[in-house]
Amino acid sequence: MQASPFRFSGLSVALFALVAFPALAEPLTIDGSGVSRDVHCAGDAVEIHGEGNTIKLTGTCASVTVSGIEQTVDIQQAGKLDISGSGHKVTAAASGLILYGDKSTVTATIGGEADAVVDISGGDHVVDLALQQATRLDVQGVSQQVTWAPVANTPEPRISISGADNKVERKK
């Protein structure tokens, strides 16, 4: 019987799998109530869940998810920022923002990605945006208060508003 030129040992297969299919990194998860932490992101995704946590993220995070109730989060730099729940206070620089739930206050500088998207839904959010690039701003829901200002020569955002009693204004 002639040996096949495509014969692999068990070790060869295992090494090939490690090289060809790298493991996806799990996000750093912070979960609890009343947790206070400073965390350095080294390109990691971060998820913050719970109630009443105070978190400071330094460095650049791949993405940040904030959920729960009354989280206070300061983010130096993130890719996508996804916020849900109620009563959060978030300050961030991010390439995009998705905000839903109610009664959160967000101050964000949006930049770093071609045609950034800011999507706000739910109710009673207060959002203050500094726009560093072309941005699509979608505001839905009820009683949203959104202010925005361009940075340098950034074009005005493309704004879509639906719902009731929403206010979207350029800062003076």
Q: Residue 24's pLDDT is what?
A: 54
Convert the pLDDT of each residue in 30-62 to its tens digit: 999 999 999 999 999 999 999 999 999 999 999
d(C-alpha 41, C-alpha 89), whole Å: 20
d(C-alpha 64, C-alpha 81), whole Å: 5
d(C-alpha 157, C-alpha 137), whole Å: 6
Convert the pLDDT of each residue in 85-111 to its tens digit: 999 999 999 999 999 999 999 999 999
pTM: predicted TM-score of the whole model, two decimal places:
0.84
